Amino acid sequence: MRLDVHRSPRDDRVVLVLVGELDLAGAPRLRQAVVAEAAAGERHVVLDLTAVDFIDSTGLGVVVGALRRLRTHDGELSVVCPEPRLRRVFEMCDLDRVFTLHGSVDEVPSERETA
């Protein structure tokens, strides 16, 4: 299965909705999307993993790389991950200490709320 990335501007952020599998085959697509957002000057990117069926270590690495890339451009990355099975993958790798895993896009605070 492949990974589709849909861009959705929303208030002061851009939501990247991922659909499919975030694995070795899908990781480059997410990487390209994040590079494009950082190059365009987006400061707050939200990864919506609601429709992700599977994530492996390569996918997790791209999520961490996305955080690093955005932070080097004074940006921030938020992760929406309501599926307990996927949340468990983040927890097993201690990435729940790096990312706050939100249950929905609406739960992600805006820059105005965090400032």
3-state class percentages of the chain: helix first, strand second, coil last, to nearest 5? 40, 30, 25
Stated pTM of the model: 0.93
- What pLDDT digit, counting tens, does each position of 29-79 carry? 999 999 999 999 999 999 999 999 999 999 999 999 999 999 999 999 999
What's the sign of the alpha-carbon dihedral 18, 20, 22, 25? negative
Domains of the chain by start residue, with CATH = 3-102 (3.30.750.24)
Give the whole-number percent of the chain exceeding pLDDT 70: 95
What is the average pLDDT value for the chain, to the nearest integer?
A: 94
Q: E-strand spans in the chain? A: 3-10, 13-22, 44-55, 76-80, 101-102
Residues 6+ apart with CB under 8 A from 91: none
Q: Per-residue pLDDT for 113 more than 80?
A: no
Residue 86: both structure tokens together:
């996927």
